[in-house]
């Protein structure tokens, strides 16, 4: 049995509105049915763009957000059903490292106080002396001097703060550590230090990680298994190397092709799949396959009506696409999007204006079989706000809930999806 098992986890945030009494007028489907398994001593990477629900999923594992449906089983115990006090005690076994190293440390506590907080809560260590010894040994492990104890978070650099955050998780000797964008707030030259530290600690202490990040390169570097999320659900899951060697889901393909590589030789040869349009709102997700409004391979009928399940396609590679095999075999034609060479010189060969032209003339009819998709897409596609540092659907949901404003983003900014469905013959 796996150490951590998620089964059909759903996290829906109600959108409430009302003058005196709050009425639920809809839901933000932040996480919508995710099942995955994390093996002991391994690293599971969750990757996806802002608004895909990866942070919410990470938090739901610790039940920092309420789980609407499904189960989170750690070592035989279902967290989703644990009552308050038991849950509090159980949290020792699941710890979290946060994205913003400064924001996640209480600015008014010194390091010793921050690190002993969890130990006190769980009765680890008989007295302050014993706890201090333990803290010192952990500080040493994460590469901080022991004179850090009496200092405050603002006196450290970003990388050191993240080490403190890791130390805080480690003192409780957890089974699983959830790292939510552990390096994205750090300077490039410091990111590698923290990535290596996580690697070393895993080797030394046999830790199990769930790493949540938007940076595919980082996730690929540290993960054994990678799950790709789009709009609240997993679209693909595979061993790290298999996913890189042969991405099967159209979204994964596009995502990978979009990641720039710091090597001009590679950049010049690489082809990018440019997705059109924006991420639909998680409050009003498209019907059928969530990705069909932007999918370059979207097919008529089935993609917009039937939601694909995550299915095994061999070798532990799971993908949620009706046409994964056909796309791989090349028997399914691309219907939208475009492929550009990444070099500037290459642009002239594949002008972007094609996309512009299509957008300019929305009444330009596609092939007949595209019509239904188009109508579907117009109704459902909407967009979601994106801010820096990967604002997640959870935050957006909170905003919606708190704002009590009469306008719902799904209504106010319906994005025409015409550009998503271009004539089939134009592809390639």
Partner 1 sequence: MSVATKTDKIQRLAELAATKETSTGASLWREAFRRLKRSKMAIIGAIIIGLFIVLAIVGPYIAPYSPTAQTWRDEVFANRGEFVGMRGENWFGLDHLGRDMFSRFLVGARQTLLVGVVATLIGLTIGFLIGGLAGAFATLGGETGRRIDSVIMRFIDIMLAMPSLLLAVSIAAVMGQSLTTVMIAVGVVQIPIFARLLRGSMLAQGSADYVLAAQSLGVRKRRIVLSQIVPNSLSPVIVQATLSLATAIIEAAALSYLGLGNPDPAIPEWGVMLTQAQRFFDNAPMMAVYPAVGIIITALGFTLLGEAMREALDPKLRG
Partner 2 sequence: MSLLTVDELTITFGGRGRKESRAVDGVSFEVDQGQVVGLVGESGCGKSVTSLALMGLLPHKGVTIGGRADFDGANLFTMSPSARRDLRGSEMAMIFQDPLSSLNPVVPLGVQVTEILERHRAMKGEAARKEAAHLLDRVGIPDPTRRLKEYPHQLSGGMRQRALIAMAVACAPRMLIADEPTTALDVTIQAQILELLKELVDQEGTALLMITHDLGVVAGLCDQVNVLYAGKVVESAGRRELFGHPTHPYAHGLLGSIPRLDAPRGEPLNPIRGSINDRIAWADGCAFAPRCDRYEMGCLTGTPQLSEPRAAGHQVRCVNPVLDDAKAEEVPA
Among residue numbers 57 through 86, which ones bind partner 2 (CB under 8 A)? none
Would you tell me the crossing angle of helices 111-121 and 158-170 to the nearest 10 degrees? 20
Q: Is beta strand 69-74 parallel, antiparallel or unpaired with respect to 77-78?
A: antiparallel
The only residue of 6, 46, 47, 172 in contact with partner 1, by rule CB under 8 A: 172
The neighbour count for residue 332, using CB atoms within 10 Å, is 17
The only residue of 152, 205, 274, 426 in contact with partner 1, by rule CB under 8 A: 152
Partner in contact with 127, chosen from partner 1, partner 2, none, beta carbon below 5 to 8 Å by kind: none
Asked if residue 234 lies in contact with residue 53, where contact means CB atoms within 8 angstroms, the answer is no
204 binds partner 2 (CB under 8 A): no
**144 contacts: CB under 8 Å, gap ≥ 6:** 160, 163, 164, 167
Partner in contact with 152, chosen from partner 1, partner 2, none, beta carbon below 5 to 8 Å by kind: partner 1
31 binds partner 2 (CB under 8 A): no
CB of 41 to partner 1, least distance (A): 21
- 278 is written with which tokens? 């924006």
Which residue's CB is nearer to partner 2, number 155 or number 325? Answer: 155
- Report 81-140 residues binding partner 1 (CB under 8 A): 88-92, 94-96, 98-100, 103-110, 117-118, 120-122
Helix/strand/coil (H/E/C) assignment for every residue in 163-198 = HHHHHHHHCCCCCEEEEECCCCCCCHHHHHHHHHHH
Cα 423 from Cα 335, distance rounded (Å):
6
175 binds partner 2 (CB under 8 A): no
341 binds partner 1 (CB under 8 A): no
Partner in contact with 428, chosen from partner 2, partner 1, none, beta carbon below 5 to 8 Å by kind: none
CB of 234 to partner 2, least distance (A): 17
- DSSP code per residue over 342-353: SSHHHHTTS-TH
Alpha helices in 259-317 (DSSP H): 264-269, 302-305
213 binds partner 1 (CB under 8 A): no
Which residue's CB is nearer to partner 2, number 242 or number 313? Answer: 242
Nearest to 62 by CA among 91, 104, 29: 91
- Contact residues: partner 1, CB under 8 A: 59, 62, 64, 88-92, 94-96, 98-100, 103-110, 117-118, 120-122, 147, 150-152, 154-155, 165, 168, 172, 398
């Amino acid at each position: 049995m796996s150490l951590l098992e998620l089964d059909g986890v759903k996290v829906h945030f109600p959108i409430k509105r009302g003058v005196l009494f709050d009425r639920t007028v809809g839901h933000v489907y932040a996480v919508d049915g995710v099942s995955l398994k994390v093996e002991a001593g391994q690293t599971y990477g969750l990757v996806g763009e802002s608004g895909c629900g990866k942070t919410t999923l990470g938090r739901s594992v610790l039940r920092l957000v309420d789980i609407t449906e499904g189960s989170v089983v750690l070592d035989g115990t279902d967290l989703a059903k644990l009552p308050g006090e038991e849950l509090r005690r159980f949290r020792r076994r699941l710890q979290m490292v946060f994205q913003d190293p400064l924001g996640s440390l209480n600015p008014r506590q010194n390091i010793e106080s921050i690190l002993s907080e969890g130990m006190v809560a769980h009765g680890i260590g008989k007295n302050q002396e014993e706890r201090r010894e333990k803290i010192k040994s952990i500080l040493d492990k994460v590469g901080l001097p022991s004179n850090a104890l009496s200092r405050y978070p603002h006196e450290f650099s970003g990388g050191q703060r993240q080490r403190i955050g890791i130390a805080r998780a480690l003192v409780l000797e957890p089974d699983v550590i959830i790292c939510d964008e552990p390096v994205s707030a750090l300077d490039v030259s410091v990111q590698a230090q923290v990535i290596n530290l996580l690697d070393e600690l895993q080797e030394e202490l046999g830790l199990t990680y769930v790493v949540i990040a938007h940076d595919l390169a980082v996730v690929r570097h540290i993960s054994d298994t990678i799950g790709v999320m789009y709009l609240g659900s997993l679209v693909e899951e595979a061993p790290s190397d298999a996913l890189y060697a042969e991405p099967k889901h159209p979204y994964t393909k596009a995502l990978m092709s979009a990641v720039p590589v710091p090597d001009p030789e590679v950049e010049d040869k690489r082809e990018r799949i440019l997705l059109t349009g924006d991420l639909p709102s998680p409050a009003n997700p498209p019907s059928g396959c969530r990705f069909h409004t932007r999918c370059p391979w979207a097919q008529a009928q089935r993609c917009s009506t039937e939601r694909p399940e995550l299915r095994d396609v061999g070798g532990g590679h799971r993908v949620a696409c009706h046409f994964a095999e056909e796309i791989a075999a090349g028997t399914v034609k691309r219907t939208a999007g475009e492929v550009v060479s990444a070099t500037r010189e290459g642009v002239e060969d594949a002008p972007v204006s094609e996309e512009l032209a299509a957008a300019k003339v929305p009444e330009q009819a596609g092939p007949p079989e595209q019509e239904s998709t188009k109508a579907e897409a117009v109704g459902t596609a909407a967009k979601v706000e994106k801010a820096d540092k990967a604002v997640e659907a959870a935050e957006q949901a909170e905003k919606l809930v708190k704002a009590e404003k009469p306008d719902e983003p799904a209504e106010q900014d319906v994005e025409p999806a015409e550009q998503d469905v271009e004539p089939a013959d134009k592809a390639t």
